[in-house]
Structure 1
């Protein structure tokens, strides 16, 4: 049986130690933990989405 997935955003935590504690807590509960990092607050989400789409199109050969 597959483990359920729990998603964590790294930027939601003020320290790396706090992030690691919460991540380990969910692993101990039996979750597969996936973590994301938002990047800098001043970066435009639209630029990020455009880059993801552009990279995806390269991968599928369009």
Structure 2
């Protein structure tokens, strides 16, 4: 499982989006902000969106 996660991360990093890292950092900052605010429902919603965002980036990279 760990190797599959690593390959997924590598594919995302190399997805061709120049701003990929900046997007990920901003998404992680938002998750931390929501955690600190104690808004569990919003954390869950945003974390799910974060995962879907990563999946979209991966698929876009594979389409190239």
Q: TM-score, normalised by structure 2?
A: 0.33
Q: TM-score, normalised by structure 1?
A: 0.34
Greater strand content: 1
Greater helix content: 2
